[in-house]
Amino acid sequence: MTSNALEEGDLVFATVTKVAPHAAFIRLENYEGYEGLIHVSEISKTWVKNIKSHVSPNQKLVCKIIRINQDKKYVKCSIRRVSDYDKKAKWDQIRRENKVDNIFRIAAEKSKTKPDKIREKLAELENKHGDMFHVFEFIKKTGKAALKDIVPTGWVEPLWDTIDKSISESRVELSGVISLNSYAPDGISKIKKLLKSQNIVYLGSGKYKLDIEEEDYKKAEAKLAKIIKSIEKNLGKTEEFSFERDKK
For the beta carbon of residue 19, count every other beta carbon within 10 angstroms.
18
Q: Is the pLDDT of residue 1 over 60?
A: no
The whole-chain average pLDDT of the chain stands at: 90
For the chain, what percent of residues have pLDDT higher than 90? 62
Considering the chain, tell me which residue range(s) the CATH 1.10.150.190 domain(s) occupy. 85-166
The string over 174-192, giving b where at least 16 C-beta atoms fall within 10 Å of a residue's C-beta and e elsewhere, is: bebebebebeeeeeeebbe
What pLDDT, on a 0 to 100 scale, did the predictor assign at position 12?
94
Please state which of the ranges 84-98, 99-113, 154-168 shows the lowest mean pLDDT: 84-98
Bridge partners (DSSP) of residue 62 are 13
CATH number of this structure's domain 11-81: 2.40.50.140
- Decide if domain 85-166 falls under CATH 1.10.150.190: yes
Q: Is the pLDDT of residue 17 over 90?
A: yes
Q: Is the pLDDT of residue 171 over 80?
A: no
Mean pLDDT of 164-173: 80
Residue 105's pLDDT band (cuts 50, 70, 90): very high
Distance, CA of 223 to CA of 225 (rounded, Å):
5
Helix (H, G, I), strand (E, B) or coil at 157: helix
For 172-245, the fitting CATH number among 3.30.70.1130, 3.10.150.10, 3.90.550.10, 3.40.50.410 is 3.30.70.1130
Please state which of the ranges 33-42, 68-77, 91-100 shows the lowest mean pLDDT: 91-100
Considering the chain, tell me which residue range(s) the CATH 2.40.50.140 domain(s) occupy. 11-81
- Contact yes or no for 147/136 (Cβ under 8 A): no
For 196-242, write each residue's pLDDT tens digit: 866 788 887 888 988 887 877 788 888 899 999 999 999 989 999 99
Considering the chain, tell me which residue range(s) the CATH 3.30.70.1130 domain(s) occupy. 172-245
What pLDDT, on a 0 to 100 scale, did the predictor assign at position 2?
46
